[in-house]
């Protein structure tokens, strides 16, 4: 059976970028497993409820903006103090 959507042919440079992003996603997935499961579930449910209408890029921009606007966690502050 043929695929419904044909796989886009990529240049070697494009494929290298995709491969790098795939590897980064694996690392991010492993890091996510170390996060608070309840918090991850809340964000995942929010993404699932909104990504069709808003698009994942816009939602991710909102998440990144939220992080930039939020003071660092206390553990991060303590780590920064030790480095000083």
In a domain, 6, yes or no: no
Residue 58 and residue 46: Cα distance in Å, rounded? Answer: 13
pLDDT of res. 79: 56
pLDDT digits (tens, 9 = 90+) for 9-27: 888 999 999 999 999 999 9
Q: Check pLDDT > 50 for residue 1.
A: no
pLDDT of res. 74: 65
Kindly give, in sequence order, each residue whose CB lies less than 8 Å from that of residue 80, ignoring residues fewer than 6 positions away.
72
Q: Check pLDDT > 60 for residue 64.
A: yes
Q: Check pLDDT > 70 for residue 61.
A: yes
Written as six digits, the tokens of 10 are: 């990529």
When mean pLDDT is compared across 3-17, 28-42, 59-73, the lowest value belongs to 3-17
Range of the domain at 50: 12-83
Count structural domains, the chain: 1
Write the secondary structure of the chain as one string of H (helix), E (strand) and C (coil): CCCCCCCCCCCHHHHHHHHHHHHHHHHHHHHHCCCCHHHHHHHHHHHHHHHHHHCHHHHHHHHHHHHHHCCCCHHHHHHHHHHC
């Amino acid at each position: 059976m043929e695929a419904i959507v044909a796989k886009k042919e990529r240049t070697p440079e494009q494929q290298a970028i995709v491969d790098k992003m795939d590897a980064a996603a694996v690392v991010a997935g492993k890091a996510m497993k170390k996060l608070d499961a309840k918090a991850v579930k809340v964000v995942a449910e929010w993404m699932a409820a909104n990504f069709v209408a808003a698009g994942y890029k816009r939602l991710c921009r909102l998440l990144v903006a939220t992080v930039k606007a939020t003071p660092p966690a206390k553990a991060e502050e303590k780590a920064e103090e030790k480095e000083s």
